């Protein structure tokens, strides 16, 4: 993968099952807010499947912090294994 200057040095990848995600507009708002979170490199939301795949700099943010952030925005989630 080609890295730009803003890309993370230590990449974590997490897939979350999403709950309480009302509509595609809600999904878009959540995606937009996640992309602004420090340490987030990439967010891929799938509203139909209710999942989010998130790539992040694990030196700046953890999957638990991402989950807590989503909960504050009204979206319950669970880390998929």
User: How confident is the model over 41-70, as pLDDT tens digits?
Assistant: 999 999 889 999 999 999 999 999 999 999
- Would 5 be classed as within a structural domain? no
Domain span at 18: 11-79
- Would 21 be classed as within a structural domain? yes
- Would 4 be classed as within a structural domain? no
First to last CA, the chain: 23
CA angle 68, 32, 55 (to 5 degrees): 65
More confident residue, 22 or 41: 41
- Would 2 be classed as within a structural domain? no
- Would 3 be classed as within a structural domain? no
Q: Would you state the structure tokens that stand for residue 75, as one six-digit string?
A: 């979206």
Residue 54 phi/psi, 5-degree rounding, is: -130, 130
- Would 44 be classed as within a structural domain? yes
pTM: 0.82
Helix H or strand E segment including 46: strand 40-46
* Domains: count for the chain: 1
**What pLDDT is attached to residue 2?**
37
Q: How far apart are CA 69 and CA 75, in angstroms?
A: 9
Average pLDDT for residues 73-77, to the nearest whole number? 92
């Amino acid at each position: 993968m080609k890295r730009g200057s803003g890309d993370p040095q230590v990449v974590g990848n997490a897939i979350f099952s999403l709950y309480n995600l009302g509509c595609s507009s809600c999904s878009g708002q959540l995606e937009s807010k996640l992309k602004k979170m420090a340490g987030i490199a990439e967010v891929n939301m799938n509203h139909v499947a209710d999942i989010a795949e998130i790539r992040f700099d694990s030196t700046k943010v953890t999957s638990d912090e991402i989950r807590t952030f989503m909960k504050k925005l009204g979206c319950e989630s669970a880390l998929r294994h």
